[in-house]
Amino acid sequence: MRPLPPRPESGAPPGSAPVPLRAAWRRTLAGTLVLLAVALLLGLAIGQPAWTLAAAALALLAWHGGRLHRVLADIDAHRVGPPQRGGKGVWNALAGLLRRDRAEMRARKRRLIDLLRAYRAAADALPDAVVVVDRNTQRILWFNRASTALLGLSRPRDRGAPVVERLQPLPLARWLAAGRNAEPMHDARSPVDERVRLDLRLVPYSEDYWLLVARDVSKLLHLEQMRQDFVANVSHELRTPLTVVHGYLDMLDPEDMPEWQPMLEEMRRQSQRMTRLVEDLLTLSRLEARDSLPEETVAMAPMLAALRREAEAYSQGRHEIEVQDLAGCDLAGSGQELHSAFSNLVTNAVRYTPTGGRITIRFAREPGGGAVLSVQDTGQGIPEAHLPRLTERFYRVSGSRSRESGGTGLGLSIVKHVLGLHQARLEVDSTVGQGSTFSCHFGPERVRARHDGEADPPAVRQASH
């Protein structure tokens, strides 16, 4: 990158001594006063001082006007005229300033061009495909070399072409229409090779331009599939030995061997915990292997009643359970999977709420036509630092407490995957010492009218102690 040239003094023409601007003004003013004084003396000598002064002033005005015209013409023609030989007045100073500014502007332009070339070379060397798209016309303005290998774009054919048309069969029309709200496409087939899987992201970096970034995630997805297959296979293989262990434990009667009773109870407890872990792993593997779920109308009144019964059975009278049905609607989706997700939330609330606490299951409508099912407890609460990681596999806020209560660390992961398959989201609000609220938000497309003879029933409150 070329460095900027040294900044000369104001009004210093090349090859001459620097002339400060203030000194140039003084010289020009002194010359004007001397010329007018000479004209005045000449006028007094000939007896016409007024006419002589007027002629001298007009001559000065004409000379300055000529210099001004030349400067304006040079600026309009993008050039700066050479300085007058030996001139040190204000016009030569102005010409020096113009030459200096023009030299600096050229240096800045060269530097910007070098920067632009460096940025283009860096973008062209990226392994990810980068496409600059005009937001208004949705046409391709520029793309790097990786776009040829991953998206099939080529120069100069695709410059200025509609991006949706050139990247068929990728479903980009509705995706681009979402603009800043467009969710990343985590698994899209490459237009060049169906075996290549892409992660597509839309980055609006200005009001007029978007960046379409495509990354090859084929290896990552392959490794993820291998992990899922491994977990599923191991879980299936563990089922048989666990069944055998359960069978032999059931055959052993603690009354025949009282001294073995503590050991047998611990073995049963640990084997049951292992069984729950295997079942949760199988459920999670099954959910991850599916892209969609069967659609049916899930009656929420029986669902809420079943959740209340499960909470009461798990609580065994240690908590106050309340169910509020305020929505007066049903949901579209898989009843089995939704029950699994809601049951996990209810079980967690009972598990982590001290005796005498309160668990509230509420089903209500949301502004915009959606619905939300929330499970609120008065437990110990969750520190804010742990909230972003709650849905990770085996993540526990307190490992010892979770093991003592029989948790596997997979419940919230199952909830997250079930809600994802229903285009819903999980929201967690928790305050340490006050409790937590886990809310499942469903969009209006998942809401169905309830057909049980009551279009909008009043709130149903069912409580047990």
Q: Residue 358 forms beta bridges with which residues?
A: 320
Task: Mark the ranges of the chain whose per-residue pLDDT is less than 70.
Answer: 1-19, 80-88, 289, 398-408, 452-465
CA dist 326 and 286 (Å) reads 32
Q: What is the mean pLDDT of the chain?
A: 82
CA dist 413 and 396 (Å) reads 12
Would you say 304 and 361 are in contact if contact means Cβ atoms under 8 Å apart?
yes
Give SS3 for 174. helix
CA dist 327 and 449 (Å) reads 10
Would you say 36 and 53 are in contact if contact means Cβ atoms under 8 Å apart?
yes
Q: Whose CA is closest to 72, among 59, 85, 90, 91?
A: 91
CB count within 10 Å of CB 6 equals: 7
The model's pLDDT over 59-115, given as tens digits with 9 standing for 90+, comes to 888 888 888 888 788 777 777 655 555 556 788 778 778 888 888 888 999 999 999
Q: Whose CA is closest to 80, among 112, 105, 110?
A: 105
- Give the pLDDT confidence score for residue 311 in this predicted structure: 94
Contacting residues for 121 by C-beta, under 8 A, at least 6 apart: none
Distance between the two ends of the chain, CA-based, in angstroms? 78
DSSP string covering 423-452: T-EEEEEEETTTEEEEEEEE-GGGEEE--S
CA separation (Å) from 321 to 311, 351, 461?
Answer: 7, 13, 10
- Give the pLDDT confidence score for residue 426 in this predicted structure: 93
Could you tell me how many helices (H) and strands (E) the chain has, helices first?
12, 14
CA separation (Å) from 364 to 107, 211, 323, 359?
Answer: 65, 40, 11, 16
* CATH 1.10.287 residue window(s) in the chain: 220-288
Give the torsion sign (CA, 452, 458, 459, 462): negative
Instruction: Report which DSSP code applies to 4.
Output: P
- Give the pLDDT confidence score for residue 350 in this predicted structure: 92
Contacting residues for 165 by C-beta, under 8 A, at least 6 apart: none
Would you say 415 and 345 are in contact if contact means Cβ atoms under 8 Å apart?
yes
CATH architecture, range 296-464: 2-Layer Sandwich (3.30)
CA dihedral 228, 231, 232, 238 (to 10 degrees): 180
CA separation (Å) from 378 to 148, 186, 350, 386?
Answer: 57, 38, 10, 18
Angle, alpha carbons 54-57-60 (nearest 5°): 150
* CATH 3.30.450.20 residue window(s) in the chain: 126-216
Q: Whose CA is closest to 438, among 428, 448, 447, 425?
A: 428
CA dist 83 and 67 (Å) reads 11
Would you say 54 and 42 are in contact if contact means Cβ atoms under 8 Å apart?
no
Give the torsion sign (CA, 39, 41, 42, 48): positive
- Give the pLDDT confidence score for residue 282 in this predicted structure: 78
Q: Whose CA is closest to 384, among 427, 345, 431?
A: 431
Query: Tell me, which fold does domain 126-216 have in CATH?
Result: Beta-Lactamase (3.30.450)
Q: In 19-145, which residue ranges form alpha helices assigned H by DSSP? A: 21-46, 49-76, 90-125
CA dist 67 and 65 (Å) reads 5
Q: Which helix (H) or strand (E) holds 273?
A: helix 261-288
| CATH pick for 220-288 out of 1.20.120, 2.60.120, 1.10.287, 1.10.3470 | 1.10.287
* CATH 3.30.565.10 residue window(s) in the chain: 296-464
Residues present in the chain in total:
465
Contacting residues for 269 by C-beta, under 8 A, at least 6 apart: none
Would you say 192 and 152 are in contact if contact means Cβ atoms under 8 Å apart?
yes
- Give the pLDDT confidence score for residue 462 in this predicted structure: 45
Would you say 440 and 426 are in contact if contact means Cβ atoms under 8 Å apart?
yes
